[in-house]
Amino acid sequence: MHFIYIFPCVLCQILNHKRLQGLETWLKATNTKLTQVNGQRKYGGPPDVWDGPTPAAHSEVFISQIPREVYEDVLIPLFSSVGPLWEFRLMMNFSGQNRGFAYAKYSSSEVAAHAIHLLHGHMVEPGFFLSVQCSMEKRHLCIGNLPAATRKENLLQVMCALVDGVKKVSLKPGPGIDEVSAIVAFTSHYTASMAKKILVEVFKRQFALTLSVKWQSSESSSNYEPLPPHKTAKSLASPWKMLPRLLLNAPRTSVSPPCLAQAPSTPPGFCRAVGETAAPPCSPSLEQLVAASPTMLLQRLCEATRLGQPLYEMYYSHVGRDRFLYFTYTVRVPGITVPFRGLVMVLPGHTATSTLEKAQQAVALQVQHALYKRSSE
């Protein structure tokens, strides 16, 4: 790793420390608790004072065009003026600035509609007008390239063991003759988005299956009939024969297995079905995967696919007019012939070391995207 030297005066020019101090003062005065979770800062979900039911669908609004130096001390009181907030999520980047958009969830769809009516076009600062719209709140994933012999009950059991928030599973015919697709419903958009980030890699690592995972609109996520017997029988001779017997051949049960709060250890039967002579290491839990930094996640991906440890070379390039610091990089992965090269930009941290760490995280994200793009081609 090459060391990068940046003058401290450059590091302090971006963040508005007066605004940050105002946020800290407001948090202490109101005893408000914020939680940093995977690129977003969250209030509530629900807050401590909430005594009502969990909000139903269409109770959330999407807020955009937020100035980068406006924080929760301004936004939460503003959106709370319409009605009590069940949850507020402000998207953040590594620098400590917001990313210009947020989500506010209310007690009902009626209150959310009232917030849109009152606050859409609201001038939060001179020259800055908020856009407030109904949030899509996608809660369904479409998982493609599953073997045609997959059973709904067994897939539900596997999904509940791998990720949190699984509510329901339906099957539909896939585009290929020897495959099906699954529509998986989750309890919230958050749990669905967290699952979407890891399912491809987990299924590839655990079961040697290459799946496709994408968002599915709730309108088209109805139940589907099982595939005809002749298609199921044909699929037994397909390349999917290595799928665990827990998915393909387990007996049907009259009661769906309960969702697990945490991913359990991989049963020995899983290992035998996949063809392992000994039980492989347990897959990391959802919390462990999403809580890891992009650098750590890239390292795990390379380890899981036996590509070797990624090697970083990063060089400071220049400061842009937008006050972002630009870095060029080269990342070499031993198992891949062509290195990854590119450019990232980050806002400076309080020290040169913290700035370098932010740049490395941004580089790791770009390399992950490049790896996924290559694997899908």
pLDDT in tens, 143-159: 998 888 888 888 888 88
pLDDT in tens, 77-90: 999 999 999 999 99
Query: Is residue 279 predicted with pLDDT exceeding 60?
Result: no
**C-alpha 168, offset from chain centre:** 19
Residue pair 76/32 in contact (Cβ under 8 Å)? The answer is yes
Query: Is residue 204 predicted with pLDDT exceeding 50?
Result: yes
Residue pair 112/31 in contact (Cβ under 8 Å)? The answer is no
What is the spatial distance between Cα 320 and Cα 327, in angstroms, rounded to a whole number? 11
**13-17, 117-121, 185-189: range with lowest mean pLDDT:** 13-17
Q: C-alpha distances in angstroms, 161 versus 56, 70, 158?
A: 25, 40, 5
**What is 328-359 written as a DSSP string?**
EEEEE-TT-SSPEEEEEEE---SSHHHHHHHH
Task: Read off the pLDDT of each residue in 210-218 and give the average, rounded to a whole number.
Answer: 84
What is the spatial distance between Cα 209 and Cα 2, in angstroms, rounded to a whole number? 38
Say which residue, 374 or 50, is predicted with more confidence. 50
Task: Read off the pLDDT of each residue in 33-59 and give the average, rounded to a whole number.
Answer: 87
pLDDT in tens, 109-152: 999 999 999 999 999 999 999 999 998 878 899 999 888 888 88
Mean pLDDT, all residues of the chain: 76
pLDDT in tens, 332-357: 998 888 899 999 888 777 777 778 88
Residue pair 246/273 in contact (Cβ under 8 Å)? The answer is yes
Query: Is residue 285 predicted with pLDDT exceeding 60?
Result: no
pLDDT in tens, 229-266: 434 333 333 333 333 444 444 333 333 333 333 333 43
Domains and their CATH numbers in the chain? 28-47+54-134 (3.30.70.330), 140-215 (3.30.70.330), 294-372 (3.30.160.20)
